[in-house]
Amino acid sequence: MSITYHDAEGIAAMRVACRLASEVLDYLTPFIKPGITTNEIDRLAAEYMVTQGTTSATVGYKGAGDVPFPKSLCTSVNHVVCHGIPDDKPLKKGDIMNIDVTVIKDGWYGDNSRMFVIGDASIAAKRLCQITFEAMWHGILQVKPGNHLGDVGHAIQRFAEGNGYSVVREFCGHGVGRTFHAEPQVLHYGRPGTMEELKPGMIFTIEPMINAGKRDIKEDHRGGRYDGWTIVTRDRSLSAQWEHTVLVTETGYEVLTLSAGSPPLPSFVPAASGQPAPVAA
Ligand code: MF3
Ligand code: CO
Ligand code: CO
């Protein structure tokens, strides 16, 4: 196993796959309201992917465990940290939810997730979503040749913990390209100057999971049995996550998972930081 440095052709293909992954979230956004079930959201996404000519990378995906993931996306509500499985429970006003979508287009994987506030939510819940979004962007701003992955993790950890939150350690970002989960691992905590050096052509995700309470997590053994996937906070505190797929360019970064419906970049992201205008369809 080693890190892939993508050429112009691979980068062009990843731009397409990643934009399509982002457009699935754009498509779903107006449907995310109190009363809809996560299974209905999953069905909408599966149908939309057909129109895109993409397939879901998560259906049938086997991680380290032996249970294939059964759905087209992950829905992680409130104290669910990640890998929540869509079900028939309606969302209710005040919930917060991560939707994580990974599509495959012509063999290339685009991976991204966003937080959604259902109706309206508490100030505390909305603040967690916002700080986690900003934490991801603080990590992205560290992406440039010569910096190290430890700079990315450190920026995220410093910002999240500085705002009174904790960083989940057990799950990380990852290289992505012609495979779903590749090297390197992208930790969301760490020390400046450590870990892999960033070089042009690397493509990886940055996807911090940030808890309002303690960082500890556990498998969700509701009713005494485990679905094989759902991870929750041990203290049942709220958890949030955002994810982008990012390319290391000659001068900095290019976020690949952007589309017309992406939320505006935080005001601290400099206009000239290397992010080109989104590529037209
Ligand atoms: N999309 C997730 C990630 O960011 C992985 C989901 S795997 C699944 O890496 F099987 F849970 F869907
Ligand atoms: Co990912
Ligand atoms: Co993902």
CA distance 15 to 255: 9
Give the tens place of pLDDT for each residue, 92-147.
999 999 999 999 999 999 999 999 999 999 999 999 999 999 999 999 999 999 99
Binding residue per annotation — 207?
yes
Give, as one character, the DSSP assignment of residue 222. G
Q: What proportion of the chain, given as a percentage, has pLDDT over 90?
A: 94
Query: Which uninterrupted H or E stretch holds 31?
Result: none
Question: Which atom of ligand 1 lies at the shortest distance from residue 174's CA?
Answer: 9
Ligand 1 atom 12, closest CA: 58
φ/ψ region of 181 (left if φ > 0, alpha if ψ in -120 to 50, else beta) reads beta
pTM for this prediction: 0.97
Residue 17 in contact with residue 108, Cβ under 8 Å?
yes
CA distance 194 to 93: 42
CA distance 175 to 39: 29
- The answer to whether residue 273 scores a pLDDT higher than 60 is no
Within its chain, how far is the Cα of 155 from the centroid? Answer: 17
- CA dihedral sign, ordered 268, 6, 261, 72: negative
CA distance 96 to 100: 13
What is the average pLDDT across 13-21?
98
Q: Which ligand is nearest to the CA of 63?
A: 1
Give, as one character, the DSSP assignment of residue 148. B
Residue 173 in contact with residue 185, Cβ under 8 Å?
yes
- Give the distance (Å) from ligand 2 centre to CA of residue 75: 14
Domains contained in the chain, CATH given: 8-264 (3.90.230.10)
φ/ψ region of 169 (left if φ > 0, alpha if ψ in -120 to 50, else beta) reads alpha
- Give the distance (Å) from ligand 1 centre to CA of residue 103: 11
User: What does the block give as tokens for 205?
Assistant: 């995700």
Task: Note if the bond before 278 is cis, omega within 30 degrees.
Answer: no
Binding residue per annotation — 6?
no
Give the tens place of pLDDT for each residue, 32-80.
999 999 999 999 999 999 999 999 999 999 988 899 999 999 999 999 9
- Can you give the pLDDT at residue 277? 53
